[in-house]
Structure 1
Amino acid sequence: MTKKILITKSAGFCFGVKRAIAIAVETAGKGEAEDGKEGPIQSLGPIIHNPQAVERLQEKGVGVVESVDEIACGKVIIPSHGVTRSDRSALEGKGVTIVDATCPFVTKAQEHAKALSRDGYAIVVVGEPDHPEVKSIISYIEKGVPVFTTVAEVSAAKGVRKAGIVVQTTQTFDNLMSFVAAAMRRFPEVRVFNTICNATTLRQQESTGLAGLADVMFVLGGYNSANTRRLAEICKAINSRTYHIETERELSPSMIEGASVAGVTAGASTPPWIIAGVLDRLKEFWKCDRIEVSFYR
């Protein structure tokens, strides 16, 4: 019997993550601060939200610190999802070498939030308030400007004449539209900057399409990755046999029992070797059958 493994064409690293990893690897390869003095190479928080990729970078000499207070010298890499304005200022004050790996799409969201707030707009930030990217966006809003992060807050807002909307780059379009609808009902003037990354939208579209075709669906990526968790949620809503896993070690034969078509997608911070490892393990489980592996688009 023929078994099929279908992989979404956009699965895995997006542009911003590829760029951040390349910057980190290049920085580690240089090994010295630009002033010629030796010093540690550290990222302020994980460069991307994938534990396995971060571990590989640590093996190359890129450490991880959780706060600016832990940094005294050397090079500091700003992660792909950015840092707050206050953290960046603190780093500049320490005189360390800053290597900026912030995704350009995140930078654009920060710039929109800053410009809108300076023009007197209240700011609606669509995203997860505790996510580092959202915290970084909010930090660029001018002090004293109203900030709303939930639909309920938007609906209950008073005394606001105009509002600007910016979005965490990995949000869904449907979630953005729920905020837009609430804002349009509440504020006389609304400006919207759709800062959702195109790669995120494409990945979500491909994943939902594949989830409807597959007998079992696997979503690969870090449990700390917001975009991977969101992929798992939208796939689960379509296919109840959806599994969010980090690596092939979590796979078991029972997951594909009775299935002929396995769908595979991956978050924007999932390395290619993890995807390859999952495919190899699925082939091992189906070793007695003819297996076709192809892209779904």
Structure 2
Amino acid sequence: MNAQVKGAASFEIPEGRTVTVAKTAGFCFGVERAVNQVYEQIKAVKEGKAEGPIYTYGPIIHNEEVVRDLEEKGVTVLDTEEDLKALPEGKGTVIIRSHGVSRHIYDILKERGIRIADATCPFVKKIHRIVDEHAAAGDAVVIIGSPFHPEVEGIRGWGNTYTTVIENEAEAQNYVVPEGKKLCVVSQTTFNYNKFQDLVEKFLKKGYDISVLNTICNATQERQSEARRIASEVDAMIVIGGKSSSNTQKLYEICRRECENTYYIQTVDDLEPESVSSVRSVGITAGASTPKNIIKEVHTNVRIKF
């Protein structure tokens, strides 16, 4: 069986190829909930039940295809606090994405009389409450995660001057709890679970008065574990997701350690036929911001065309 792909040469598809798609691939609960909320707002404005315009504070998810579709339907992405402050008072709706935001973002919107549709993932909201409570109690808080990720920036915004973000072993080793402070450790929901355990171990060895709360989302742990298992069993692994998606980048890192032939793509157009044309087994997983239709398209092309 031969197939022409994107004008490239024909490739013989090996007989008996197996393609395994991770059951956990694609939208997680929080992302699906947030995306659905945007479409519900669009519908409400069309039906005259809500007043536009509709904004999201940052892209609703790290997926260019979805963001482009929402923009075509009239949703505007606001990227900065200055954008929020420039909105006409009392006009429109700002949707808070699943990553969540700092406390002061809510304050800005309330001061301007802007309606808020809060699509923050409930698991992220839980971390906000934990950090808020421990900061109010006078504790030091360490957030294990990527400091410039929007979820982590939002979490940090519920703490105080004793709230710190730590991403690697060197930072954990150098961290010193302020004198007289108890320590609370939480995690970005999409952080690598094994790395989280390693960093926590660094703190435990220092003998601090510490409470550790594993706030990594169960869906993230399951997605990472399944990706690791599949990658260890196949000849080539495909990881689908936006280039700015933190959880997809971590999936790629995990799979790359298990399978040398691991490829990170956003859509099927990014996949070179040569990468999978001669292998007998292919695994596919996807980040939490990847729609099912993109996963299905990649699966179909790998199984039939490449």
Shared fold, TM over 0.5: yes
Identity %: 38
Deviations 1:19-42 (A, max 9, x none): 001111101111179996x43101
The match for 2:268 is 248
Give the letter aligned to residue 223 of structure 2: R
Q: Is the 8 A contact 1:134 1:168 kept in 2?
A: yes
Find the partner of 2:107 among 86, 89, 97: 89
**For structure 1, which runs of at least 5 residues remain unmatched after alignment?**
287-297
Residue 29 of structure 2 is aligned to residue 15 of structure 1: yes
Other structure's SS at 1:218 match = strand
The match for 2:72 is 59
- TM-score of the pair, normalised by structure 2: 0.88
The match for 2:166 is 149
The match for 2:123 is 105
Residue 43 of structure 2 is aligned to residue 29 of structure 1: yes
Q: Is the 8 A contact 1:248 1:277 kept in 2?
A: yes
Q: Is the 8 A contact 2:228 2:258 kept in 1?
A: yes
Other structure's SS at 1:107 match = helix
How much does 1:144 deviate? 3.2
Residue 285 of structure 2 is aligned to residue 271 of structure 1: no
Q: 1:148 to 1:265 in 2, by over 3 A?
A: closer
Give the letter aligned to residue 164 of structure 2: V
Greater alpha carbon shift after TM alignment, 3-12 vs 156-165: 156-165
Residue 133 of structure 2 is aligned to residue 115 of structure 1: yes
The match for 2:201 is 181
Q: Distance in 1 between matches of 2:119 and 2:183?
A: 30
Find the partner of 1:233 among 242, 245, 253: 253
Give the letter aligned to residue 76 of structure 1: V
RMSD, aligned CA: 1.8
Q: Is the 8 A contact 1:34 1:97 kept in 2?
A: no
Give the letter aligned to residue 72 of structure 2: E
Q: Distance in 2 between matches of 1:123 and 1:182?
A: 15
Find the partner of 2:58 among 25, 32, 45: 45
The match for 1:290 is none
Residue 82 of structure 2 is aligned to residue 69 of structure 1: yes
Q: 1:149 to 1:62 in 2, by over 3 A?
A: same
The match for 1:215 is 235
Q: Is the 8 A contact 1:39 1:75 kept in 2?
A: yes
Q: Distance in 1 between matches of 2:127 and 2:57?
A: 20
Give the letter aligned to residue 18 of structure 1: E
The match for 2:219 is 199
How much does 1:4 deviate? 1.2
**For structure 2, which runs of at least 5 residues remain unmatched after alignment?**
1-14
Other structure's SS at 1:83 match = coil
Q: Is the 8 A contact 1:33 1:74 kept in 2?
A: no
How much does 1:62 deviate? 1.8
Paired positions, count: 284
Q: Distance in 2 between matches of 1:223 and 1:180?
A: 28
Q: Distance in 1 between matches of 2:49 and 2:132?
A: 33
Give the letter aligned to residue 131 of structure 1: H
How much does 1:162 deviate? 1.8
Deviations 1:138-174 (A, max 9, x none): 1100x33252424434433154442100110001211
The match for 1:294 is none
Deviations 1:220-243 (A, max 9, x none): 000010000000001001101000
The match for 2:305 is 285
